[in-house]
Amino acid sequence: QLRDYQSLGIPFGVMMLDLDFFKLVNDQYGHNTGDEVLRMVAGTFQNAMRRNDFIGRWGGEEFVAILRGVTHLELRTIAEKICRLVEQSGLKRGEEYIRVTVSIGASIVLPEDTAVSIVQRADQALYQSKHDGRNRATLI
């Protein structure tokens, strides 16, 4: 994506997505259920994104997404949509639903960016979402 931006001027955004308080899910329901919750949330991510976007697991309960050809407003709209959809989804266990939320940090590529700098900026925005109360998207 960075090469396409530098040579063709096609902008892109990077989102870092992290499930809020996911350790509590594993502690309360076990790792197998935690894995099911991760799969459910990953499906929600994929359904919320456009066909040409990429999302993958970054590690643990954290994901990274690359959205090609987006504006700042479109990136914000997609990130906020993902927050709402995750919050509304749940995994049914007996009579209860296991629900999680997600915090998102995002950034649009800048002319001086490297692959490392844009990911670092999105990660800073993710930290800000966590600091500001979780279950939200922050763009910087």
Which residues are part of the catalytic machinery?
A: 61
Cβ neighbours, 10 Å, residue 22 = 19
Instruction: Report d(CA 4, CA 37) in Å as an integer.
Output: 35
At CA 60, angle to CA 74 and CA 138, rounded to 5?
30
Torsion of CA 19, 113, 50, 47, to 10 degrees: -10
Tell how far CA 72 is from the center of its chain: 15
